[in-house]
Amino acid sequence: MSVPILDLTALHAPLADQMRDVFNEILTTSQFVLGKHAADFEAALAQACDCKHAIGVSSGTDALIIALMAYDIKAGDEVISSPFTFFATGGSIARVGATPIFVDIDPVTMNLDSELIEEAITPNTKAIMPVHIFGHPANMDRINAIAKKHNLAVIEDNAQSIGAKIGDKQVGSIGDIGCLSFYPTKNLSGCGDAGAVLTNDDTLAEKMTSLRLHGQIGQYQHKIIGGNFRIDALHAAILNIKLPHLPQWNEARRRNAQLYKHKLADMPITLPVELDGYTHVYHQYTIRVDANKRDGLTTALKENGIGFGVFYPTPLHQQECFKYLNQDQGRLPHSEDASKRCISLPVHPLLTEDQIDEVCAVIKGHL
């Protein structure tokens, strides 16, 4: 039996008629960018994320860029973030001209280690950008407290964790700005690239709304320089159809994670954790195996038709393009260790227990 890492066709099947209807409507009206569908989605998203403002944008990467631009972060500024993440996190910091300062991860959750942040702060530090990696929230209480003490902005990279919580608070709405991605593989995904920024701050919301449209404040009037970061009507409409289903999809991911936890309990594997008081949404179910066993296991998964991912094989401080940072090998040992040992298994909402058994059987047969 083959087990895909994701099955969007099956996930969309019950919603396909609704999706076709909005597609036809948008084709008929030719209202392709922003408009009513974007406004409706933004209102629903703000409510779902318990946040005052949600602003739809062109991608998760652009959401990060807009958030940095909202704080005028630029050359000479530093932003503290995690090296164990998708490239966009560090890439967006560099793209606004600032310097990413990569701080090691906590080996338990694989999120930015909040205990290491203060020693990385300099007079140039302007913001902290935690990533809620794989669906588990970073330690936002501690990060917000540090930011408050040092007068720093907190920009949450919440591309992977929509619906995750700390207590009853939704991540993405706990820092100053939350950045979401709706890339097709995400827990809530559009029909292409899209994203959103979240904030409870009226002034930031107004500025980010302007930034997504070239900094426009009135027709063809520009007080600041922004970009074309608009969300398309079709993405917004599709996302609005899918949004009400997100809680049940996240629940299904959590159920699948529980099944893996029981079935892989006795294996020589580091399983993902869910810390007390935190709600994990398992964007990925990322296990860690001995570094010298990973290639063999990924080969066995491949041979048995089991989808998997290696997120992320090279931490950002070791990427060629960040060599100028001089964050040498060995300086961020937990990030480097995770990169050598991680494998993400299928955990998508439609996975069956039989499929999970199949994945576990291959792992047990190999390790």
Ligand X SMILES: Cc1ncc(COP(=O)(O)O)c(C=O)c1O
Taking the C-alpha atoms of residue 170 and residue 50, their distance in angstroms, rounded to an integer, is 7
Return the number of the residue (71 or 183) whose C-beta is nearest ligand X: 183
> Minimum CB separation from ligand X for residue 201, in Å?
21
Cβ–Cβ contacts within 10 Å for residue 202, how many? 10
Return the number of the residue (147 or 159) whose C-beta is nearest ligand X: 159
Return the number of the residue (181 or 250) whose C-beta is nearest ligand X: 181
Residues 307 and 355 sit within 8 Å (Cβ to Cβ): no
Return the number of the residue (112 or 159) whose C-beta is nearest ligand X: 159
> Minimum CB separation from ligand X for residue 196, in Å?
10
Q: Which residues contact 227 (CB under 8 A, 6 or more apart)?
A: 62, 65, 66, 211, 212, 214
Residues 166 and 156 sit within 8 Å (Cβ to Cβ): no
Among 26, 55, 69, 131, binds ligand X (CB under 6 A): 131
- Which of 183, 182, 161, 184 lies closest to 172, judged by CA? 161
Q: Could you tell me how many helices (H) and strands (E) the chain has, helices first? A: 12, 14
- Does 81 participate in binding ligand X (rule CB under 6 A)? no
> Minimum CB separation from ligand X for residue 200, in Å?
21
Binding mask 39-68 for ligand X (x = CB under 6 A): --------------------xxx-------
Among 85, 170, 199, 284, binds ligand X (CB under 6 A): 85
Q: Which residues contact 23 (CB under 8 A, 6 or more apart)?
A: 234, 237
Return the number of the residue (101 or 112) whose C-beta is nearest ligand X: 112
Binding mask 170-209 for ligand X (x = CB under 6 A): -----------x-x---------x-x--------------
